[in-house]
Structure 1
Amino acid sequence: MDWKNWYMELEQDDESWDVSEEIVLRGVVHLNFCGQPSEVEVEFIVGADSEEQAQTIEEPTQLQKNTWEQYMEYSSAIHPQVLESIHHHYAGIVEKYRNAYSIWGEDPDEYAPYVERPEQLLDRIQLVSILISDSSAKDELYLNFSCSWDQEHGLGVHMKQMKMEHIQGVYTLYDLE
């Protein structure tokens, strides 16, 4: 893909300066997560020291571009590792969700079934967005998934240097930083 043109076509969130000192640049890509096709929203968060500087931001930083392009180049090798990490995480939380669904009078097998292999989670999760901040950490990004067991909060995977760092609910994951 021609990333140079794609970066220039990213949409800027015009309202972001009103609530923070960051500009959000958004785009969409189609990619496969372990064979599962997904339309994924990509957000680049770019810091600005002033409103004047914010108005000049037209594309991600070079570090963000490098992180994105490296991720896309190696995604077919990265995704199975991410799926394995999600499976390990899921094994540790599934009982909590099964208990909650039982208390709510819902069938826990519908939302949080027991699974033996990572691939069994593929019909339970969907990669929906990727966030790349302009933090000083090299190659840092967040993969955000919708998931059947936590439909409200979803699942977030924090990655550094293309390796899984932490898994948690999407919104609470960002609070760790």
Structure 2
Amino acid sequence: MNEYKWAGDAPNMLRWLGEMDKHARSNENPPYVSDYYKGECCLECGAEQEALKFLRKSYEANEEYLFTRSPKVAEFFNAHLAEPKILSKFEDEGYEDFSFSLRLEYFGKALEQEGEFRYTFLDEDGEETDEPSRMHSNAIEFLKQNQEEILTGILAEILKNYPKWQEIYDYPSETKSDFMPGISTPQELSELLELQNIYILDSAKIGFEFSCSWDIEHGLGVITRKGKVVNIGEVEVALMAI
């Protein structure tokens, strides 16, 4: 789906979005959340009319939700309202990019990605900060020195949970091989996962945000403590300092 989105091929992107709607967990969120996500994807794809259609459906069901997400989407939709809202939230905040770049050779090789990854420091309140503490710096150094052990543990934990997730998502047989194929080794996960961001919570806890083929909307989050996986679930897990 992402490949079609990046290629600007809206019909095929929407076709695969429709296939994703068939998995068993697709109805856990209110419809306006799904409509928003489809609208956001269409906007990224360059299909503005399709984006507007889905975003309008989301807005009609919940007028507030759309304006709590991406500033780009909010500004796009606001320009098409008969009575545009004053987007003070987006105008007042600078939306600074607090992420940094980190080279992790083993991660790049094992995940079949470029070896350059983005990471973000989170303060005690879970907010992004560009002023890391000594604990944050220690965590980065620990990650660099122990990256093979850390990623091996993460992939092993994902593989252990994968059969259970297959049952939960319950993809139809005709699309299962595209989204959640049968796998038996951690190496095969490189075809299904992409590391999006790393969150440095404190000296011991590091969160990992993945996109995954079986749930592009919610993604996959992992928390490690001293290099060991302590929590795994949807992407929000990567931000939780448990």
> So what's the TM-score if we normalise by structure 1?
0.70
Pick the aligned partner of 2:164 from 58, 67, 92: 92
Does the 8 Å contact 1:25/1:60 carry over to 2?
Answer: no
Equivalences for residues 106-145 of structure 1 within 5 A: 107-134=175-202, 138-145=203-210
Pick the aligned partner of 1:77 from 145, 149, 154: 149
Summarize deviations over 1:101-143 as a string: whole Å, max 9, x none: 32xx961110011111221111101111100124xxx410101
Structure 2 alignment gaps of length 5 or more: 1-88
Equivalences for residues 142-161 of structure 1 within 5 A: 142-161=207-226
Structure 1 residues 176 and 168 mapped into 2: Cα distance closer, same or farther (>3 Å)?
A: farther
Q: Matches of 1:126 and 1:76 in 2, distance apart?
A: 16
Aligned-residue offset at 1:44: 0.3
Aligned-residue offset at 1:172: 5.0
**Could you say which residue in structure 2 is the equivalent of 1:46?**
123
Does the 8 Å contact 2:210/2:220 carry over to 1?
Answer: yes
Q: Matches of 1:90 and 1:121 in 2, distance apart?
A: 10
Aligned-residue offset at 1:173: 5.3
**Could you say which residue in structure 2 is the equivalent of 1:11?**
none
> So what's the TM-score if we normalise by structure 2?
0.52
Q: Matches of 1:139 and 1:175 in 2, distance apart?
A: 13
Structure 1 residues 61 and 81 mapped into 2: Cα distance closer, same or farther (>3 Å)?
A: same
Q: Which runs of 4+ in 1 moved over 6 A?
A: none
Does the 8 Å contact 2:223/2:240 carry over to 1?
Answer: no
Pick the aligned partner of 1:60 from 121, 129, 132: 132
Size of the aligned set, in residue pairs, is: 145
Larger Rg: 2
Summarize deviations over 1:46-78 as a string: whole Å, max 9, x none: 358xxxxxxxx7531000100111111110222
Identity among equivalent pairs (%): 27
Does the 8 Å contact 1:24/1:44 carry over to 2?
Answer: no
Aligned-residue offset at 1:24: 7.6
Q: Which has the higher helix share?
A: 2
Report 1 or 2 for greater relative contact order, CA contacts < 8 Å, sequence distance ≥ 6.
1
Q: Which has the higher strand share?
A: 1
Structure 1 residues 172 and 143 mapped into 2: Cα distance closer, same or farther (>3 Å)?
A: closer
Pick the aligned partner of 2:102 from 29, 36, 41: 29
Task: Give the 3-state SS of the residue equivalent to 1:150 in structure 2.
Answer: coil
